Structure formats: structure tokens, C-alpha cells
Structure 1
Amino acid sequence: MVVPAAQQPVHVTPHRGWKRIQCEPFSKSFVQGQLHVPRRTAGQGRCVKEGFRQSMAWLHTWSGLLVGWILFAVFATGTAAYYREEISLWMKPELHSLSTQAVPPTIAVQQGLDYLSKRAPQAVRWDMTLPDPRNASLRLSWTDPTPAGETPNPRRRRQTATLDPATGALTAPARETRGGDFLYRFHFDLHHIPVLWGRWIVGFCAMFMLVAIISGIITHKRIFKDFFTFRPKKGQRSWLDAHNASAVLALPYHLMITYTGLITLMFLYMPWGTQAVYKGDTNAFFAEVFPSRQPANTTRTGSGVPFADLAPMLAQSAGRWDGDAPGRITITLPGDPNGTLMLTRDNGGRISVTSSDTMTFSSASGALLSETRDDARPAVQTRGVMYGLHAATFAQPLLRALFFLSALAGCVMVASGVVLWAVKERQKYAKKLAAGGRVGWGVRLVDGLNIGSIAGIPIAIAAYFWGNRLLPVPMPDRIANEIMMFFIGWGVSLLAGLIWPTRLMWVWQMALAAVMWMALPVLNALTSPSNLFANALAGRWALVGFDMTVLVLGVGLASIAWVLHRRGNKPVVRKPAGSPAAAAAATAASKTAPKAAPQPTIASVTQEAT
């Protein structure tokens, strides 16, 4: 009896680290250029355990897919957070007319003291944030005393104001907005859900991403060779090339940003050491780790005492800090004999953000009372460096731009990964689709989620910017309504994608996102006293950079929409008509056409996969 070839046991002896595989009967499929053998086929036969690299491929696929949509939202908003100061400035058009010329710290501090002495003489605390290259305004805040019989609540009694540091004039009341801080907070809090839940969800997704990155490195042994390979218009192969290139392009960044993101919230994810040593007293722990952040005395003993001369204090701090200026000034009990003035060193050029050098003076006499050096222990310094790397607070303009581009590459990596899974699964339904059928509900769900996240998040961020300019300035709860615009844009996009997950929906939503982003400079010119050209002439490069960035991103989204539209409108090649003449012509053409390539054998498949 002759056993058919398809049912004979097949022996494959791969090389380069592959394990010996034996299956009865043999079933093969070609995925990403590799030979994948199922553990068991049709309930019969047997297969030896698959190799380590193949098991990592399975782990890479599912660890990335299950959290890919949340990761894309986190990556996109985190990318925008690199420029949260510039975004906040753009979203407050009342501040666009501020002078961009540098103001000496002595003048800026004196302007703040003069204003606060008139506006809040009885406050228990004054805070001043001095101008820097990314923010030209002098930001003031103060805490009013708590009325008798009321529970102290510093946040409720806190007031703010913004001054022009050159003239000391109060700027026009800026509209209420969270600005770039909303995008920054969203990328690890997720908003609209309890803070701890949001941070646990983001941490869970970040851990999955770290697993996906490491397993992807193990799986892809030609990682650097394929980085220089891109084959357009090849369907699944093109998506895989885009995924590989965007992943390898900023691979050190992807590893760093994922790991440091987990480290920044390590006290939440791993609290057991602190709980064991400090018996659950977290206040004692933070008092020891961050001694400069402890609350100061707020009990008054008098009033009306003038401030000491500021110039010697600033000169003394500059001498101790290698010429660096203070970034923040905190005054407790202003006008009181026991009042203090604390200068905090600007951390703008340092990687570690654990703590800062501080110098505390008597606000009445100007005598140095205490000094805190940034001499934290190695563990605390390590965490500070990790946090600084994640937030890029130290980055100068060029380095910040490189961080931003690397984060964009991360967005492309996540987006192409989840799309690649849908493309691969859709190919399994090729015959069913050709016969007029539909794909399974799982693929349709993934397609809808892909549209709602990859196209929906750009629409949501653009809607947030549009809401900032279109909502009435005196609207009650304006901040909440402005943020609601973000979730309305995202929700409509997600709902439309789930209802109609087709290529045409991709085109419409990408085109809508492109129009919304490219129109932002026009919206700025119509709703603010500045525009792109006026800002360039005045040297307001933060606003110029915002307008140019949104234009480039809009053009990129428009290019994606155009490519999807062209691919969706390709002419369909019809089969020849069923007439005898047409059949004879087709037969003659097939005889003269070159022969098709032979089907790959087991040996050729193994050689290509290795």
C-alpha cells in the first residue's frame, strides 16, 4: 500500500539553532518569512516542542496586541508632553504679546515682590516661578490665611497671577485651561477614572510593552539588516518593514522610556520595602528622602517688617551654584520677623530631578539660615536620573527635538504592530472575501479599535486644541468642557470605526485629522493677536515651533489618507469573459507566458526562514 505524500511523516532538520521538528501529518504556513509548525494538527499526529525564537514570536505578538491601543494613546500624549510648556503658551493667547527678551533675576524678583506686597500682604506663603527660555512670564501664587474655625486647605486658598517680568504689569487674564499639562497627566493618569487605577493600568501596559520589545529583539535576528529594508506596496511585507524600521530606529529610546516610566512610579508598584522599613508611615519616608520639601512654619509673630536687599542673596546663591540662577523662590510669612526666603536652583540643565540645591535666608535680615545640597544617596540619585531621562527636563532644543522624533517613531511602531496583526488575520479570509463573505468578528473588532485609536487620538488632540479657541472664555467649568472636547473627538472616532471598520473609514478619519491639524495656524491667527509670520518677526520661536509642527503633522496625516485612498481605488483586474474566443485567447497567452515559480519545498522553506 502506497501512502500519499501529503500523509507521510515529514522530517525537517533545520540548522542555525533550530530544533529538530517531526510532525504527522505536516502542516505549514508562511508568516513573516518563517516556517511555523502547529503543536498538533487536526487532533492527530505529534510535533516536538517549537524553538525558543518561535515561542518569543508568539509572546511578542500577543503582548503587543492586547495593550496596543492604550499604549498608542499613552505614547501620543506623552510625545506631546515634551512640549507642554509651549502647548500651554499657545493655548493662552492672552500671553502671546509678552516680551521674549531675557530679564535679570534681580529685576524679575523685585517686580514679583512689589506686586505681592500690594495684592496679598497677609498671605502665609508666596511662590514665584522665574522666567526661563521656555516661558517668558513671571508666575506668582500665594496662599491666603485660613479663616478661624475652618479646616486648613492650602489648595483651596491658593491664588495665582501672571506678570510681565520686564514691566511688572499684570498680563491680561489668561483663559482657564490645563494646556499641555492635561496631555502630560493623561499619559499616566488616563483622566476620568481614579488616579490609582489609571496609573496601575498604564504601568500594566508599560510592562507588556517592555516584554514586547525584549521578545521582539530575540525573535528578529536580522534586526539591523532589515532596518535598511523597506518594500513598499507589498501588503503585509510593507507593514512588517515599517514596524521593524520604526522599532530599530529608536530602539535605545524605546527601552529607556518604557523602563524609566515604570521606575517613576516604583513606590506605587513596589511599596513593600517602604512599608516594611517605615511601618506604613510614608510621611516619615518622604521626610528622610526629600528633606527640602518639608512644610515650613506658618505661625506669625508680627507684621510690617521690610524685606532685606535681594541682590546679596542672589549673588551668594550664584557663587555657590556655579553661576546658575534660581528657578523658584518661596517666601513664608512675608513681612514677619520670622519670615524666610528660600531660593531653589534651576534644574533646567541637570538630568537628576530628585531634589534641588536650596538656600534659605531670613527675609528680614538677609542672613543665611540653612543650605541644602543635592547630595542625595545613590538610590535616590538613581531614581532622579531615571525620572529626568523620562521627562527630558534637562534637554536643550536640539536634544528635545530628537526625543520628540524618537517618540513619534514609537507611535509608528505601536500603530504598525496592531495594524500588521489585522492584515495577517484578514489574509486568512481571502477566499471568503472573494466570494462576497465577511471576516470574523474578532478581526472586525481589531479593525475598529485600530481606527478609533490610530486615527482617533490625533482627532482627539486636535479637538482639544480647537475647543481651547472656540469655547467662550467666560464659560463656567471651562477647563472641564475643554477636556471634554478631547474625549468627544475620540469617542466619535472610536464609535464610527467600530460601526464601519473599512478602508474608506480610515481615509475619512485620516483626512479629517489632517484638516484639523493643518488648520490650527489659521485658527490661531483668527483667534489671537499673533500669527505665524508675526511671531517669527518678533522672535517668539515657541509659538512658531508649535505652528510649524502641527503643519508638518497635518501633512503627514494627509499623505497617509491619500495613499489609502489611491490603494482603495486601484482598478480591479477582471477574468476573461466566458466566450470561446476569449477562452482560446487566454489559453494561448498562458502558453506563451513564462512558467510560474515552483511551490517551495521543505528544504527551501527552512533555508529562507534561517
Structure 2
Amino acid sequence: MKEGFRQSMAWLHTWSGLLVGWVLFMVFAAGTASYFKDEITFWMKPELHAVSPNAAPQAKAAETAVAFLQQRGANAPRWFITLPTEREPSTSVLYLKPPPPAGAAPVERRRRFDQALLDPATGQAVTAPRETRGGEFFYRLHFDLHYMPAIWARWIVGFCAMFMLVAIFSGIVTHRRIFKDFFTFRPKKGQRSWLDAHNVTAVLALPYHAMITYTGLVTLMFMYMPWAQQAAYKDHGGTEAFFAEAFPGGGRTQFKASGTKAPLAPIAPMVAAASSHWNGAPVGRITVHFPNDANAVVSIARAGTQRLSSDQPSMQFNGVTGAQIGTFGDVPKAAAETRGVLYGLHIGRFADPLLRGLFFLSGLAGCLMVATGLLLWAVKERQKFAKTLKQGGRIGWGLRLVDGLNLGAIAGLPMAMAAFFWANRLLPLDVADRSEAEIGWFFIVWGAAAVLGLLSPTLRMWQAQLALGALLFVLLPVLNAFTGPAPLTVSLRSGPSAVAGFDLVAIALGMGLAGAAWLVERKRRKAVSRQAASTQPPPPGLAASGQGS
């Protein structure tokens, strides 16, 4: 142990934050964007911007969706219908393609589904939007990463989240005056200024930071710590039996097709019965297992905007007779409800626009907290090389590596996110595997920023990357005006509000990056001035005066 308990906690806080800080910055940034993933997806589909929201009763929207699926996927083993919401005015249908014949090449999981967006009143497919992952990419990125098996990614992110939790609580112990320091900011004081900035961004949303980190671990708790249910259900059906008991609602494994054709009962009465059972609460998702089969089952889940918990109650109906089979989750078990509330807090789907905006700002504060912590370590470490630098030497390889990683993560990631949106609008609509091409440009730009940062971790490179990121974000509304039907001048007056909100946030983020680039330029000029002053010989008068003294 170090000299004392607080010193040990300071050491733990420093290294638990530094070693995984770059991954945590990406997780915070992508997770923060995910609070508005529906709005991001909508902006990235400009073909939908001119479609007027056509409000229709939920029963009508469900009927038209079923009629569409009867035409397009009557033989699909499963239908998924997501009814319209305020954030998504269209009905979304997803149906599983029939399995390939025996001996055929296996089909990638994502390609086993067909999807369409429908006008809720008419059931007609709206103008085919461009292929894109949209905001779903950021949502998946923040816990599944990319280009690697999801199970590996989730273990990596969980490991980093545990380090983050350790850093939060060790930081609270380390900073005895943490709340007093929150009201103190001393600019132009070097290391002291970075520490003040780190304290402010940490304390500003401290409850949020602790909540989002802990609940992030809870979302995958059964993967990280499976031993309890494995031991308890070892002789009672295993893990599947545990989930069936903990989260009743009818897993798909319990449904079996009969192979006998039978017409599907009208869906509207089932939707009305479910909504009435939940005291008028709206329906969110409808799943039809084995449509047009004698053993068809219709599962209806309540919309997720009414409860804090992510686990929504559901009802099941016989798909042929329309008779109610059972209800699930009306009175959840205490342990399952606790887990559902923690999960719901993490994803924030219950939040109204104002609360979601506060979550977004808290997420940005988390990004700044991680960024200032990484930069603070580099500032402190550079002081050890002050004499070496004055004598024309170079900093150590460890500090140079951290400088490069900081540059690539903190300045490069925002630039890559902006490039993702530019690729969405500039790539040809018919390019093969278009959504992956957009994601490819995200990683190309981020990778280039990281390589350049490692090769030249200088203030000039910081300024260049921050300025380019600012330019890409600020010009996104201009790009939208030239490539979509709802420029900012129109969306501010008559909507869509999601497009106007995206453009305004893009401008705000761009201005923030521009401000950071301006501060870097000021610092660079001061450093150049100090270096010139230290190498310039003294004026003749001062030299003569010194000799005569």
C-alpha cells in the first residue's frame, strides 16, 4: 500500500481510469448518442422526411400491418410488428424468412430477416428508405463494439465498466473537497486547471455516472455472473428453466408449429383487449408465432413508455380463435422487477424528451470527465520531462503513446462520428451492403485519426483534428439541406422536429469542437512564444548591465 489510504485510492483511481479510458470514452460517446437513436435513424433516412405523420388508432395500424405481412411473408415462421410512437410515426414490420433448404449455405443472422416501414393508416410501404444502421449502430457499438464476436466485446466492455466503477468510488475517496472543488475553476493554471475541469465534470453528474456504470453491468449480469442460476437449476432444467421462471412470458421454444393451415384471427380485438387490460396503456410490440398455422400464438407487449422497468407486461392469444391464453408480468417478482428497473434506468426508454435531454447532457459530461482525466495524467507526467525538454530531449515512449491515444480517441472519435453521417448522405443509394459501407467510413476516419495521432501527437495535430471535426459537424445541416427535403429553415417551422433537433445539436457540437480547437491554438502560440523567448539572446544593454554588476 502507498503512504496512506487516500494515497492508495489516488493511485487506484489514476490507473483504473487510465488503462481503459480510451474504451470508456467511446462507450460514453456512443451510449450518449443512443438516447436519441430513433431520431438519428430518422435523420439518416431523408426519404421519410417528407412523409406526413398519418395518425391512426393502434388497432387500425395492427390490422394494416397484418394485411401487409399476409402478402409479403405469409409463410414466415414469425412476424414482429412495432406500432407507431411519437418518435417513430411509421409501423415497423419484421418477418423471419423461411429457413434455407437442407444442404444450402448458412445465412448470416442479420440477413434472415426482411423489414419494411408502413403507413399506419393504409398499410402501404412508405418510400423505400436507404439502407442504414442509423442510431442502432451507436447503440450496438457501445456494448458490442464491431468486427469481433459479440461475446468477446461484451466481456471487454464489462471489464472496462468494472474499472470505471472502481475509478468513480476511489475518486470520491481521493477528493476530500470534491463538492467544494466543484464550485472552483482556475483557468490558465496548467495542471490545476485540468484537475478543476475533471472535478467539475465528474461531480456535475456524479449520480448519473455511478448509475449508468453500475446498471450497464446489470444489463449483462447473467453473462458475467452465471454461477448462481447454474448451481440452483443444475438439476431443474438448467438455465432455460431459470429464465422461464424469472421472466415468464412464453419463450419461442415453447411454441411448435402443427403443420396444419388455419386462418389467423382478426388482430384488432386482441389489441383492444390488451390495451383495456392495461387500463388504456398503448401496445408496443406484437409477435405472431407461426402465422396461418393451427398452433399460431399472438404475443402482445405493452409499450415501454409507461414504466421505469424495461420488462413490460404481455398477453398471449390463440392465433386462430383469438381467445386469451394468459397474462405475464402484471405482478412481477421482486428480483426480476429490480433487475428490470435497473435495466430501464440504463437504456432510458421511459424518459420524456426533457429527461432524455438531461440524460444526453449527463452523458456528454461523462465524456468530458473521461477526456479530462486522460489529459490530466499526460499533463502531470509531462512535468517529469520538463528539464529534458528544455535541454532539447524527448519525452518517454509511454507518455508519447498516451498522447497519441488521447488524440486519436478524444479528437478522432467525434470526427469519425461526423464522417458516418456524411457517408450516409454521400454514398450512392445502390452501393452493395450500404449500411456496412457507412460503418466502414466511420472506422476508416477514426483509424486514420488514431494513426496520425500516434505518429505526430503535437498541438498542431490536435488543432487540425478538432477543427476538421468542428467543420464536419457544423456543415451537417448544410449537407441535409442539399440532400434531403427538410432543411433547417423548413424543419424549424413545420417539422419534422427530429430533423431540426439533429441539425441544431450538430451545430452545437461543432461549435464546441471549434472552441476546443481555438483554445489549443492559443496554447500552441504561447508555447512557441515561450520557446522563442528562451532561445533568444538578451539585448546588448541588458548584457552590458549584467557584466558590470
TM-score over 0.5 for the pair:
yes
Task: Give me the whole-angstrom Cα distance separating, in 2, the residues matched to 1:439 and 1:477.
Answer: 45
- Structure 1 position 192 matched with structure 2 position 185: no
2:206: which partner in 1? 251
Q: How high is the TM-score relative to the length of structure 2?
A: 0.93
Query: Equivalent of 1:77, from 30, 46, 49?
Result: 30
Query: Equivalent of 1:314, from 241, 247, 271?
Result: 271
Task: Give me the whole-angstrom Cα distance separating, in 2, the residues matched to 1:143 and 1:574.
Answer: 71
Identity, % of aligned positions: 55
Query: One-letter code of the match for 1:122?
Result: N
Task: Give me the whole-angstrom Cα distance separating, in 2, the residues matched to 1:248 and 1:584.
Answer: 55
State the Cα distance separating 1:277 from its structure 2 match: 1.9
Q: Which has the higher helix share?
A: 2
Query: Equivalent of 1:260, from 183, 193, 215?
Result: 215
State which drifts further: 211-220 or 156-165: 156-165
Change in 2 beyond 3 A, CA 1:430/1:167: same
Query: One-letter code of the match for 1:360?
Result: Q
Query: One-letter code of the match for 2:541?
Result: A
Q: Is the 8 A contact 1:514 1:558 kept in 2?
A: yes
Change in 2 beyond 3 A, CA 1:83/1:293: farther
| Cα RMSD after superposing both structures | 2.4
CA offset digits 1:44-67 (Å, max 9, x no partner): xxxxx6121111111111111111
Q: Is the 8 A contact 2:60 2:121 kept in 1?
A: yes
Task: Give me the whole-angstrom Cα distance separating, in 2, the residues matched to 1:369 and 1:62.
Answer: 55
CA offset digits 1:160-210 (Å, max 9, x no partner): 211121333211222221111111111111111221211111111111111
Task: Give me the whole-angstrom Cα distance separating, in 1, the residues matched to 2:400 and 2:144.
Answer: 29
1:414: which partner in 2? 370
State which drifts further: 427-436 or 541-550: 427-436
- Structure 1 position 551 matched with structure 2 position 507: yes
User: Looking at CA atoms only, which structure, 1 or 2, has the larger radius of gyration?
Assistant: 1
Q: How high is the TM-score relative to the length of structure 1?
A: 0.84
CA offset digits 1:549-603 (Å, max 9, x no partner): 1110000000000111122113337368546631466799xx9xxxxxxxxxxxx
Q: Is the 8 A contact 1:100 1:539 kept in 2?
A: no
Change in 2 beyond 3 A, CA 1:361/1:449: same
The one of the two structures with greater contact order (alpha-carbon pairs below 8 A, sep at least 6) is: 2
Q: How does 1:186-585 map to 2 (within 5 A)?
A: 186-279=141-234, 281-295=238-252, 296-303=255-262, 305=263, 307-308=265-266, 310=268, 312-354=269-311, 356-570=312-526, 571-572=529-530, 574=533, 577-578=537-538, 581-583=541-543
Change in 2 beyond 3 A, CA 1:93/1:128: same
Task: Give me the whole-angstrom Cα distance separating, in 1, the residues matched to 2:44 and 2:159.
Answer: 32
Task: Give me the whole-angstrom Cα distance separating, in 2, the residues matched to 1:98 and 1:471.
Answer: 22
Query: Equivalent of 1:59, from 9, 12, 33?
Result: 12
CA offset digits 1:506-551 (Å, max 9, x no partner): 1000001101111111111222222122222333111111111111
Secondary structure at the counterpart of residue 342 of structure 1: strand
Unpaired runs of at least 5, structure 2: none
Task: Give me the whole-angstrom Cα distance separating, in 2, the residues matched to 1:330 and 1:378.
Answer: 26
- Number of residue-to-residue matches in the alignment: 539
State the Cα distance separating 1:221 from its structure 2 match: 0.5
State the Cα distance separating 1:455 from its structure 2 match: 0.5
Secondary structure at the counterpart of residue 292 of structure 1: coil
Query: One-letter code of the match for 1:387?
Result: Y
Secondary structure at the counterpart of residue 429 of structure 1: helix
1:88: which partner in 2? 41
Task: Give me the whole-angstrom Cα distance separating, in 2, the residues matched to 1:262 and 1:579.
Answer: 64
Query: One-letter code of the match for 1:381?
Result: E
Task: Give me the whole-angstrom Cα distance separating, in 2, the residues matched to 1:587 and 1:409.
Answer: 56
2:125: which partner in 1? 170
Task: Give me the whole-angstrom Cα distance separating, in 2, the residues matched to 1:329 and 1:69.
Answer: 40
Change in 2 beyond 3 A, CA 1:586/1:397: farther
Change in 2 beyond 3 A, CA 1:331/1:578: closer
Change in 2 beyond 3 A, CA 1:299/1:442: same
Query: Equivalent of 2:73, from 112, 120, 134?
Result: 120
Q: Is the 8 A contact 2:249 2:329 kept in 1?
A: no
Q: Is the 8 A contact 1:63 1:209 kept in 2?
A: yes
Q: Is the 8 A contact 2:132 2:424 kept in 1?
A: yes
CA offset digits 1:373-403 (Å, max 9, x no partner): 3333211111111111111111110100011
Query: One-letter code of the match for 2:18?
Result: L
Q: Is the 8 A contact 1:278 1:284 kept in 2?
A: yes
Q: Is the 8 A contact 2:59 2:267 kept in 1?
A: no
Query: One-letter code of the match for 1:175?
Result: R
Change in 2 beyond 3 A, CA 1:314/1:201: closer
State the Cα distance separating 1:104 from its structure 2 match: 1.6
Q: Is the 8 A contact 1:349 1:395 kept in 2?
A: no
Unpaired runs of at least 5, structure 1: 1-38, 40-48, 592-610
State the Cα distance separating 1:417 from its structure 2 match: 0.4
Query: One-letter code of the match for 1:318?
Result: S
Q: How does 1:153-164 map to 2 (within 5 A)?
A: 157-164=112-119
State the Cα distance separating 1:121 from its structure 2 match: 2.9
Secondary structure at the counterpart of residue 249 of structure 2: helix
Task: Give me the whole-angstrom Cα distance separating, in 1, the residues matched to 2:81 and 2:387.
Answer: 68
Change in 2 beyond 3 A, CA 1:339/1:487: same
